[in-house]
Amino acid sequence: MKRSEKQLLMLFATLFLLVLLIRVLPMAVNYYRSGREEIALLQERVERYRTLIVDTAQWQQREQLKTAEVTDMQTWIFPGSDPNLVSSSIQRSLRQLMADNSVELREAGVARYSYVGKWLMVEQDMSFTLNQPTVLPFLRALDASRPRLQISAISISRNRKQYTGSLTVVGFARTGKSDAAPKVGQPAAAAGSVTGLQR
């Protein structure tokens, strides 16, 4: 091979290396970088989907808990919206609780009611006699009652071998009204109620 031919081959090789360095190598580097970026994006999406799956499960669990809470709270309120019927239901519940826990009813006052927004609040006073062993079971029964009876006032005093007491309970019911301010109604004259009854 002649010297001129060798020089020409060297020139072509040099040009080929220059083309590799200037064009092909940057393209390969860019392709590698874009591949790494796509992999990173895919990993980010996978992680995002995993987080979304976990969040969805947590939200579903929270929704189930809220639904259970709402269902339980619905058992706290008395059915109906008529004050007389609600007060009658409250008196009936109190009588049953007293009978189940060996508490003797002495007197039941006239129920009082008031409206707050869409809620009807009924207050009921009762006086009673009971023995010492029945005090705590009676209070526990009141606390566990459904629909719920909230104790707003209670007093118990000892009288010889028995205890005498009085309490005020509050029950709630839903109404179709929506009053801006609370409205206090007249005492509810519930059917079958005991008003001023002495035993």
Per-residue pLDDT of the chain (199 residues; tens, 9 = 90+): 566 666 667 766 677 666 666 776 677 777 778 877 888 888 888 888 888 888 888 888 888 888 777 777 677 788 888 889 999 999 999 999 999 999 999 998 899 999 888 889 999 999 999 888 888 899 889 888 888 888 889 898 887 778 899 999 999 898 865 554 445 555 554 333 333 333 3
Tokens of 46: 């996978």
Residue 169 CB coordination number (10 Å): 24
DSSP 3-state assignment of 188? strand
Domain-by-domain residue ranges, the chain? 1-74, 83-184
CATH of 83-184, one of 1.20.1530.20, 3.30.70.60, 3.90.1640.30, 3.40.50.300: 3.30.70.60
* Cα–Cα distance for residue pair 122/168, rounded to 1 Å: 10
Buried b (16+ CB within 10 A) or exposed e, 111-147: bbbebeeeebbbbbbbbbebeeebeeebeebbeebeb
pTM: 0.56
* Cα–Cα distance for residue pair 111/193, rounded to 1 Å: 9
